[in-house]
Amino acid sequence: MLSERGNGLGPERGQDLGACRGGRQESEERRIMNTFTPTARTQVKRLPKRAAYDRDTVFKILDEAFVCHVGFVADGQPFVIPTNFGRSGETIYLHGSAASRMLRTLSEGVPVCVTVTLADGLVLARSAFHHSVNYRSVVVLGTARLVDDPSEKMEALRLFTEHIMKGRWEEIRWPTEQELKATTVLALPLEEVSAKVRTGGPIDDEEDYSLPVWAGVLPLPVVPAVPIADARLKAGTAVPQYMKAYRRGSGPQEQPSQMKLEQI
């Protein structure tokens, strides 16, 4: 009986161990799939502990930001241009006038660097040297392609609109064929990507902690104000529900209550 029990338990234990190994392997595969592989160009060198390469972090930053900065070189002159953007999966889209020098240059296959930064709070230390900012940022390197397929172009324009205000696209007039021709859209694949994030309070020199100076973080959340109607708004047009419920992510820092502000 003992021998039979032993023979019976062996395979079961072996199967359980294999399942555990398989689970760990699947977990590692998911982690790898969910992470951008750092390259020599995207590996964060300065304060590497603040680096993030996982897609969740990168996508949340991109989806919360309104403006990106596009860096490129044209005729030997570096340019960095602020512009709006939108994301769909592993691609970010840029758009603008067909006469845009930036878009015209990038459509020729010029290497591009796109950056996005969110300022979450001011970090006030006891010394000038250790003042800082809590931020979340993303750097994307690559080469953009011109979007000439009409359906993809229209979808990109929908993304831009919904990126600014979710629910807006279904209410507004969509672009005409002439407006589409006057607009250039570029697609930049998310391949070489890194994020960098700072959170938390100031880190002072030990001898400075005894100084009678207020230190801490002043959060800077994005808080919408009361909508201002256009002067020529059709009478009786109500503020859309999606505007009343509008909220933009305020990042990892909690918005301070009125009590906390008074205490500060």
DSSP string, 49-102: GGEE-BHHHHHHHHHH-SEEEEEEEETTEEEEEEEEEEEETTEEEEEEETT-HH
Q: Regarding predicted confidence, which is higher, 27 or 196?
A: 196
Q: Which CATH class is domain 48-120+131-199?
A: mainly beta
Best CA proximity match to 62, nearest among 89, 40, 39, 36: 89
Q: What is the pLDDT of residue 253?
A: 41
- Please provide the average confidence, as pLDDT, over all residues in the chain: 86
Domain ranges of the chain: 48-120+131-199
Per-residue confidence at 248, pLDDT binned at 50, 70, 90?
Answer: confident
pTM here is 0.80
Residue 4 tokens, joined = 């039979």
Give yes or no for residue 12 having a pLDDT over 80.
Answer: no
Q: Could you count the other beta carbons within 10 Å of the beta carbon of residue 169?
A: 14
Q: What is the pLDDT of residue 61?
A: 96
What is the DSSP-derived secondary structure letter of residue 40?
Answer: T
Q: What percent of the chain has pLDDT over 70?
A: 81
Q: What is the pLDDT of residue 100?
A: 93
Q: What is the pLDDT of residue 42?
A: 87
Q: Regarding predicted confidence, which is higher, 13 or 25?
A: 25
Query: How far apart, in whole angstroms, are the C-alpha atoms of residue 123 and residue 119?
Result: 11
Per-residue confidence at 250, pLDDT binned at 50, 70, 90?
Answer: very low
Per-residue pLDDT, averaged over 129-152, amounts to 96
Write the pLDDT tens digit of every residue in 40-54: 998 998 888 999 999
